[in-house]
Chains A and B, each alone.
Chain A
Amino acid sequence: MSYIGIIITFVFINNFILTQFLGLCPFIGVSKDVESAVGMGFAVTFVMAMASIASWAIYHYVLVPLDIVFLQTISFILVIAALVQLVELVIQKISPALYKALGIFLPLITTNCAVLGIAIINVRNDYNALESFIAGIAAGLGFLLAILLMSTIRVKLDLEWIPKSFRGIPIAFVTGGLMALAFMAFDNALLNNLLG
């Protein structure tokens, strides 16, 4: 598949949150205001891109040559946990401003399904290093798009009257459901029309 195809697939057609249900916890938990939603979105994108590359390298240079592919889950989650710690340290050293913006979200990302999800999906799709990297960035941007849309809607929802039982999390799910309906417009026909 071409690189543009991968980007469109992961941002719109297979949007991680709205069609694959990966990364729902931060989508519901961290979408109460726009600023933290954007922070979370960029932090996830960054870690997903790094994790795609790192897991690709681990899989092709360690797991396959040693014939221990069954250790995939354990090694990927450890790589991701270590990576998140490393990213936290590096950002703290290089850019305190960025650290202040993203810092509180980084520890949460280790247990974000989306990050381990992209690592496993890359392996299952048999992507090469560059394709994995692009898929990681695209899936992260898809996450950012969904959480940004959600947070702007929730800010507006705060001003509306909502039945008591639906306040908070339930209305967020219903909103997400309607967004998913809208995202159903993006399907493989879009890809065929764009790329021929």
Chain B
Amino acid sequence: MLKEFTKGLIKENPVFIIVLGLCPALGVSTKVINSLGMGAGVIFVLLGSNIFVSLLKDFIPEKVRIPAYIVIIASFVTIVEMVMEAFIPALYDSLGVFVPLIVVNCIILGRAEAFANKNTIQASILDALGMGIGFTLALILIALVREVFGLGTITLFPIGSFSGVIEVPGLVDSPVRVFGLAAGALLVMGFLKALFTWIEDIRRVKQ
């Protein structure tokens, strides 16, 4: 049972191994905080849609299942949109168009179609958590590389006297700006994917 949870973290990581959900992964990963916010939104929607699809799998007719899944997913995305806009408007603004676009994140529809409509609720919850956390970890990794090199900072939540921004000495005065731009995102993604392929190859040879 626990395998359903851990598989999404690394072995079947949605971004680096299955290569789904690329648009938000690259679009919001300019700062670590944006990745955390996006990740939280996706985990919530994925959890909600997996639970509901798994509950309703015997009632949804085979032919209209995809539109039915889309309505379920869109409802949860609307909840995320409204909550984010009301409580964390700054994050909502910096994520921009990518918050409503969680609807078309292929990971969520993919898990509904490939997992939740065949499995029990418990398994679907674990699957959603694993995939969601795997997605968030991937986003944080991309954002760490891009923010440290592109801005020379690491932006987290402000807690108490801590402003939430860690400055990296040496890079903060003269950052490599291209990492923060569109081109940098695609290059970073290419090199990280190559790294994961390389690690995967080494592991396969060892076995």
Contact = CB atoms under 8 A, between A and B. Distances in A.
Interface string A1-38: 00000000000000000111111110010000000000
Interface in A47-83: 70-74, 76-78, 81
Interface in A164-196: 164-166, 169-174, 176-178, 180-181, 183-184
Interface string B96-110: 010011011010010
Given A18-B182, A77-B70, A81-B67, A25 B106 contact: yes
B198 interface: yes
Interface residues of B, number: 41
Interface string B8-43: 000000000001101110110000000000000000
A69 to B, nearest CB: 11
B97 A117 contact: yes
Contacts of B74: 73-74, 77-78
Given A74-B71, A77-B74, A181 B183 contact: yes
Contact of B70 (A81, A112, A113, A181): A81
A178 B189 CA distance: 12
Interface residues of A, number: 44
Interface stretch (B75-83, B124-132, B133-141, B157-165): B75-83
Chain A residues touching B, majority SS: helix
Contacts of A183: 182
Given A21-B27, A24-B22, A77 B103 contact: yes
Interface of B: 19-20, 22-24, 26-27, 66-67, 70-71, 74-75, 77-78, 81-82, 97, 100-101, 103-104, 106, 109, 178, 181-187, 189-191, 193-195, 197-198, 201
Interface of A: 18-25, 28, 70-74, 76-78, 81, 110-113, 116-117, 120-121, 124, 163-166, 169-174, 176-178, 180-181, 183-184
